[in-house]
Structure 1
Amino acid sequence: MARNSFFKFKQFTINQDQCAMKVCTDACVLGAWADVENAERILDIGAGTGLLSLMVAQRNHRATIDAVELDREAYTQASRNTANSPFKNRIAIFNDAIQDFSSDGKYDCIITNPPFFQSDLRSPDLKINQAHHSESLTFQDLLKSIDRLLTEKGKWNILLPVDEGIIFQDLAEKAGWFLERKLTLFHQKEKKPFRLLMIFSKLELADIVDVNSDLFIYGEDGRTYHPEFKKLMKDYYLIF
């Protein structure tokens, strides 16, 4: 996905020149795939450009959404992006660390694309480090924050690279969470998967339930979009 200064969707536009984390395909997949339809209060942890908040606001017409972003410039840009959208009255952006964030009530849905790299080489750009690496939000801190802010019957959605996702799933299950659904994201068949999308809750599913599915962005030619990807993204991407 091209990293231009803005990215135009069917119902909103994301300006991203002030954000280290640009609009990317995997985050768009999370916004379209996450289980948010029945939620009334949604929390977006690590708002970045405001992309996920806007995507879920488009899908869920009654939910109010709070989004927390630590970086000041990203917070400002997310605030502007949401203010210029049709969903501005239902989205509030907060400039805070999620570890310090408090609300007047709990949320019945959380969505997050958190900093994830545990050991990869650092970038010379401090903002990119903060956006990509987990010093500002460890997996343990994220799990504690989710447990504190989510209702007992709530569920949460997360996007991670495959290796980090395997580690995180183990940590989440040891903390008492159950995996409801998992989507493994591939560029195309015969390629390695590059992202895991997962939904957790306190509800334990029956052993016979298969929670796993795969999604390919491209067909076997590596150029044409896969029909299932087009179906998922058709309400957002102008090209579909």
Structure 2
Amino acid sequence: MGSIFKFKEFEINQQGCAMKINTDGVLLGALVNSQHPSRILDIGTGTGVIAMMLAQRFPFSQVDAVEIDEDAYATAIQNFQNSAFSNRLRGYSGSFEDLKKVDNYDLLVSNPPFYTNSLHNPDLRKKLARHTDFHFFDKLLLFAKENLSDRGELNLILPIELADYVIREGLKQDFHLVKKIEIKSFVNTDVIRNIITLSKVQNEVEIVEFVIYESKGVHSQEYKELLKPFFLAF
């Protein structure tokens, strides 16, 4: 994949980013559902693609994005400035924990690092982008508790076991699972990712399934419809 990825309403320069645009990120950006969020925060924005997808989807929202990798942050800022949504996108360099509280967010999203307790990648920047431990998610849940509005929601895309951990730990912070999207490669294969929505408000849990491919190399109709507002190919 080249350094420039063109979408219908914006383009992403990926140069300088350890982690490039990936399926997890675009699925999260397209599948997150929220009722007219006023303020959104993308944690670990990388190239800025999720933040920009959300800026496109929610035209009246202010979208903040934070990135700990300095080179990726610089690239994301450039992408923001070159977009039609530049007046509603704001980037911060550093950890989400260092953000100064201004107002509560209605929506927190993250496609976080999840190679938990695995072998470290020898590439240090990729290690930073894709390796973490459970403590990261404990801190993330605490941040969400302190910075989400009363009806705000935290949305994460994670492997199944890690999603289960975050759901369990979320309960300790008075968060409730309100939606789970089970991502599969094919209809008859195992779930590979969960997109989980946690809220301070308890509701009946909605569980839905999403299939990426109809057959090898052929995207499903639901995938095409989902990404049609973004991808030139659809």
TM (norm. structure 1) is: 0.93
Moved more, 98-107 or 67-76: 98-107
State which of 21, 26, 30 in structure 1 corresponds to 2:19.
21
Name the counterpart of 1:211. Answer: 206
Q: Which amino acid in structure 2 is aligned with residue 10 of structure 1?
A: K
Q: Matches of 1:143 and 1:45 in 2, distance apart? A: 12
Which aligned segments of 4 or more residues in structure 1 are displaced greater than 4 angstroms?
A: none
Question: Identical aligned pairs, as a percentage?
Answer: 34
Moved more, 179-188 or 84-93: 179-188
2:52 is paired with a residue of what secondary structure? helix
Name the counterpart of 2:64. Answer: 66
**Following TM superposition, by how much is the alpha carbon of 1:226 offset from its aligned partner in structure 2, in angstroms?**
0.8
Q: Matches of 1:6 and 1:136 in 2, distance apart? A: 33
Q: Which amino acid in structure 2 is aligned with residue 215 of structure 1?
A: F
2:99 is paired with a residue of what secondary structure? coil
Alpha-carbon displacement from aligned partner over 1:153-210 (angstroms, at most 9, x marks no partner): 211211112221121111112321111111011111222221110111111114xxx5
State which of 13, 18, 36 in structure 1 corresponds to 2:34.
36
Moved more, 189-198 or 20-29: 189-198
Q: Matches of 1:217 and 1:153 in 2, distance apart? A: 30
Count the aligned residue pairs.
Answer: 234
Contact 1:46 1:69 in 2 (8 A): yes
2:182 is paired with a residue of what secondary structure? strand
Name the counterpart of 1:222. Answer: 216
Contact 1:67 1:93 in 2 (8 A): yes
Name the counterpart of 2:187. Answer: 189
Gaps of 5+ in 1: none
Contact 2:167 2:176 in 1 (8 A): no
**Following TM superposition, by how much is the alpha carbon of 1:223 offset from its aligned partner in structure 2, in angstroms?**
2.4
Contact 1:178 1:200 in 2 (8 A): yes
Q: Matches of 2:203 and 2:101 in 1, distance apart? A: 30
2:219 is paired with a residue of what secondary structure? coil
Name the counterpart of 1:97. Answer: 95
Gaps of 5+ in 2: none
Q: Matches of 1:38 and 1:227 in 2, distance apart? A: 27
Contact 1:72 1:95 in 2 (8 A): yes
2:218 is paired with a residue of what secondary structure? coil
Q: Matches of 2:54 and 2:8 in 1, distance apart? A: 14
Contact 1:37 1:59 in 2 (8 A): no
1:152 is paired with a residue of what secondary structure? strand
Please, what is the CA RMSD of the aligned residues?
1.5
Name the counterpart of 1:4. Answer: 2
